[in-house]
Structure 1
Amino acid sequence: MQELKERPARRSAPPARRRHRRRRPRARAWAAAGWAVLAAASAALVAWTVAAPHPRPDASAAGTAAGPRAGARDPAVVNGRRQPPPVRVPRAATGRYAAVPGTDPPPRRRGFVVQYMVEVERGLPFAPERFAAEVHRVLNDPRGWGRGGRLRFQRVAGGPVRFRVALSSPALTDRMCRPLDTRGQVSCHARGRAVLNARRWAQGAAPYRGDVAAYREYLVNHEVGHALGRGHRGCPAPGRRAPVMVQQTLSLYGCRANPWPYPRG
């Protein structure tokens, strides 16, 4: 009887139970959570844009004269690339597009020539000529849709075109993309127009971890991919490059960020 009374005392030691507690499994990222992540990331990026001081004209010269601090990290460089300066994008602008004047010739190589136009909504804080030049560079990159002489892209200012690339405020994006609900956050392809949300163009997206330059390349290639008849794809396997037609704005789904249709050129 005495032995039976002593057993509960030996069983009641709490440390043994604490050592054998099961760990909770990590939560998996689902596409349904992408909207919440995107909205939170946008709010954080907007706050950073508002708070970040704009450099004075002599700031770079002063920094060069003083020399960089030991171990200092330039916040404007991500993945070895200098990033675009922060820009505040209004929720709505004029609601009217203007075609970027002028033309850009196709590369001098073999391949079918595809003509396209670039439009920028009036009132957005972006230089139309610079935006058009970036779009043209991306489309004719060896890693782009024209790889291996498949296609060559020529920008024109008017006339019949295969597609249009239009930089749009969040409000105009929502209007142009209906019935798709873009919620002022994402972009789309609608009726022959690659509608690029200016908010995403300025801020990038959370899966790209601050690499706005690379995200802009993805955004052009993804939406123009729809204009060329490509549909959405999934991540082929964890750790692999995401196909450019994965909805990388929302999530990488276990893949690695990749802005190019043919990343190996």
Structure 2
Amino acid sequence: MRPWPLLPYLTGLCLAAATVVVLDAGAASRATTVEWPRGGVVPKPTRPAPSARIDSLRTTDADLPGGPPFPQQGADTFRVVPGSPGPPGPASGVAYSVEVEDGVRLPQGDDSFAAVVDLALLHPRGWRAHGYAFRRVDHGEPALRIRLASQGTARARCGFELPYDTSCRTGSVVYVSAARWFRGAHAFGRDLRGYRFYAVNHEVGHFLGRGHEVCPVDGGPAPLMMQQTLSTANDELAEIVNGTDQGVHVVPDGKACTANPWP
């Protein structure tokens, strides 16, 4: 038998392979890296960055969480919620009224706001544990008024120097932001009830003469008077309040606390 001409055959294979590479060069440039037997590598194309997650639009814990619609603007006048939470408390206790802005409607009615305020102030873990007594009244001139205000009214009464919705105490009046009452704060996660206790207790704390505090122990509960609506981490809080007077110097020391609604 006549031997097969091996050299011409191999030469033909090499030419065919080269032809395939040339003809398919465009497709190869679009493919994932391919390692050829002889070590040649087709450059890997640059892949587009993955799409941003929806929650990445939130830049800080101070942003208002998503959630149900809330009253954006009321009449800037307030109605007193009638009634009292059972025993009125010591006659020497701080007399407070619970009020809701005209034009603001709550899904469960005004009493749902009053019930949370009452429980926050009369709870054994609240300011009572620090020697303060409260009694709710629905007439006369109370020493303290606790008002649920629409977003617009809260911003007007509390100021909006920091571009975040917050509640505040002005003189003998506490304004609780409806935006926060309905949505809460990121620091509290899904614990809306806990955040509501915090909002009431924190602002009443200002009425009692308490100032803002920072996170003292990394991983510990945040002081009630920390601005937990904005953040429970000193680093983030320092960045948020930088350049404003919040009555406390926040040092970015890496400490981060857990949310806490009680004094």
Bin for the TM-score computed over the shorter chain: 0.5 to 0.7
Name the aligned partner's letter for residue 89 of structure 1: F
- 255, 259, 262: which one pairs with 2:261? 259
Q: For the structure 1 residues 245 and 106, does the alpha-carbon distance in structure 2 shift closer, same or farther, using more than 3 Å as the test? A: farther
Give the Cα separation in 2 of the matches to 1:102 and 1:125.
18
Name the aligned partner's letter for residue 157 of structure 1: D
1:167 matched to 2:151: no
Cα distance, 1:99 vs structure 2: 1.2
Contact kept? 2:88, 2:136, Cα under 8 Å: no
Instruction: Give aligned-pair identity as a percent.
Output: 38
Q: For the structure 1 residues 240 and 185, does the alpha-carbon distance in structure 2 shift closer, same or farther, using more than 3 Å as the test? A: same
Contact kept? 1:106, 1:113, Cα under 8 Å: no
- 20, 38, 49: which one pairs with 2:62? 38
Contact kept? 2:83, 2:138, Cα under 8 Å: yes
1:111-130 equivalent positions in 2, closer than 5 A: 112-126=92-106, 127-130=109-112
Instruction: Name 1:133's counterpart in structure 2.
Output: 115
Give the Cα separation in 2 of the matches to 1:107 and 1:152.
10
Deviations 1:95-132 (A, max 9, x none): 22111122335566x79411111110122231112211
Cα distance, 1:163 vs structure 2: 1.1
1:39-58 equivalent positions in 2, closer than 5 A: 39=63, 41-42=64-65, 45-46=66-67, 49=68
1:1-265 equivalent positions in 2, closer than 5 A: 36-39=60-63, 41-42=64-65, 45-46=66-67, 49=68, 88-106=69-87, 112-126=92-106, 127-147=109-129, 150-178=131-159, 181=161, 183=163, 185-253=165-233, 254-261=256-263
Give the Cα separation in 2 of the matches to 1:200 and 1:211.
12
Contact kept? 1:104, 1:156, Cα under 8 Å: no
Deviations 1:13-72 (A, max 9, x none): xxxxxxxxxxxxxxxxxxxxx984433x43xx14xx3xxxxxxxxxxxxxxxxxxxxxxx
Name the aligned partner's letter for residue 207 of structure 1: A
Name the aligned partner's letter for residue 190 of structure 1: T
Q: For the structure 1 residues 182 and 164, does the alpha-carbon distance in structure 2 shift closer, same or farther, using more than 3 Å as the test? A: farther
Contact kept? 1:232, 1:245, Cα under 8 Å: yes
Give the Cα separation in 2 of the matches to 1:259 and 1:225.
11
Cα distance, 1:182 vs structure 2: 5.8
Contact kept? 2:174, 2:203, Cα under 8 Å: yes
Q: Secondary structure at the match of 2:73?
A: coil
Quick check: 213-222 or 93-102, which moved more? 93-102
Q: Structure 1 runs of 4+ off > 6 angstroms?
A: none
Give the Cα separation in 1 of the matches to 2:71 and 2:187.
23
Quick check: 166-175 or 123-132, which moved more? 123-132
Instruction: Name 2:241's counterpart in structure 1.
Output: none
Q: Secondary structure at the match of 2:179?
A: helix
Q: CA RMSD in A?
A: 2.2
Give the Cα separation in 2 of the matches to 1:247 and 1:93.
26
Contact kept? 2:61, 2:185, Cα under 8 Å: no
Quick check: 229-238 or 118-127, which moved more? 118-127
Q: Secondary structure at the match of 2:155?
A: helix
Name the aligned partner's letter for residue 180 of structure 2: R
Give the Cα separation in 1 of the matches to 2:101 and 2:209.
25
Give the Cα separation in 1 of the matches to 2:178 and 2:104.
8
Q: For the structure 1 residues 111 and 101, does the alpha-carbon distance in structure 2 shift closer, same or farther, using more than 3 Å as the test? A: closer
User: Which runs of no fewer than 5 residues in structure 1 stay unpaired?
Assistant: 1-33, 50-87
